[in-house]
């Protein structure tokens, strides 16, 4: 009988211990930009901040080959959907990468609704993957969160890329 009473106490201690070790999240924002997002772990760091000449941000997960995020704002014609912008990007830019293989497109329900578009390619002789979140801010503005990295490494942190895109919001 004593073992049965000790087991729930141990489970409670374990649950509390694992709850305390949740990685800290850092809110990233800048006075030059109109958005904010949460960086889910200290491994993510800012490598390029927006300034008066450049309105995009870049983040790296450890090393550039492990994970790179570029954020850009696209002003589009009224009524252009995230899916149409993704198709344009694939047709005009992405399909020219070495070893390009188009992936699937899926809906993305975050603070800003949109889609995720994926593709694979070869970079420096290594298999790479990219996940692009096209997030609709209004009928003329779409924010593009372009994650890319080594296939095995970026797929391992997919939960973090999804969390960053879900946390993305306008100020």
Give this prediction's pTM. Answer: 0.82
Q: Where are the domains of the chain?
A: 24-170
Report the alpha-carbon distance of residue 131 to residue 154 in Å, rounded: 9
Report the alpha-carbon distance of residue 66 to residue 2 in Å, rounded: 49
* Of residues 130, 139, 49, the one with CA closest to residue 93: 130
DSSP string, 41-68: STTEEEEE---SS---EEEEESSTTT-E
Report the alpha-carbon distance of residue 117 to residue 65 in Å, rounded: 19
Report the alpha-carbon distance of residue 43 to residue 62 in Å, rounded: 5
Q: What is the pLDDT of residue 146?
A: 97
Q: What is the pLDDT of residue 105?
A: 96
Q: What is the pLDDT of residue 14?
A: 42
Tokens of 59: 């983040």
Q: What is the pLDDT of residue 52?
A: 57
Report the alpha-carbon distance of residue 51 to residue 30 in Å, rounded: 9
- pLDDT tens sequence for the chain (171 residues): 444 444 444 443 443 344 433 445 789 888 888 899 999 999 999 987 655 556 678 999 999 999 999 999 999 999 999 999 999 999 999 999 999 999 999 999 989 999 999 999 999 899 999 999 999 999 999 999 999 999 999 999 999 999 999 999 998
Q: What is the pLDDT of residue 26?
A: 87
CATH architecture of structural domain 24-170: 3-Layer(aba) Sandwich (3.40)
Pairing of strands 169-170, 113-123: unpaired
| Rounded CA Rg of the chain | 19
Q: What is the pLDDT of residue 154?
A: 94
Q: How many CB atoms lie within 10 A of CB 136?
A: 19
Q: What is the pLDDT of residue 18?
A: 41
Cα distance from N-terminal residue to C-terminal residue, the chain = 57
Q: What is the pLDDT of residue 12?
A: 39
């Amino acid at each position: 009988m004593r073992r049965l009473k000790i087991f729930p106490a141990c489970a409670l201690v374990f649950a509390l211990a694992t709850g305390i070790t949740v990685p800290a999240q850092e809110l990233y924002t800048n006075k030059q930009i109109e958005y904010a997002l949460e960086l889910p772990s200290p491994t993510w760091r800012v490598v390029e901040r927006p300034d008066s000449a450049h309105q995009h941000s870049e983040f790296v997960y450890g090393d550039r080959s492990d994970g790179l995020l570029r954020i850009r704002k696209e002003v589009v014609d009224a009524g252009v959907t995230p899916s149409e912008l993704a198709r344009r990007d694939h047709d005009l830019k992405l399909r020219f990468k070495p070893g390009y293989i188009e992936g699937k497109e899926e809906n993305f329900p975050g603070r800003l609704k949109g889609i995720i578009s994926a593709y694979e390619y070869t970079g420096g002789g290594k298999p790479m993957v990219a996940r692009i979140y096209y997030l609709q801010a209004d009928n003329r503005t779409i924010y593009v969160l372009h994650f890319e990295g080594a296939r095995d490494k970026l797929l391992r942190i997919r939960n973090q890329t999804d969390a960053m895109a879900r946390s993305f919001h306008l100020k």
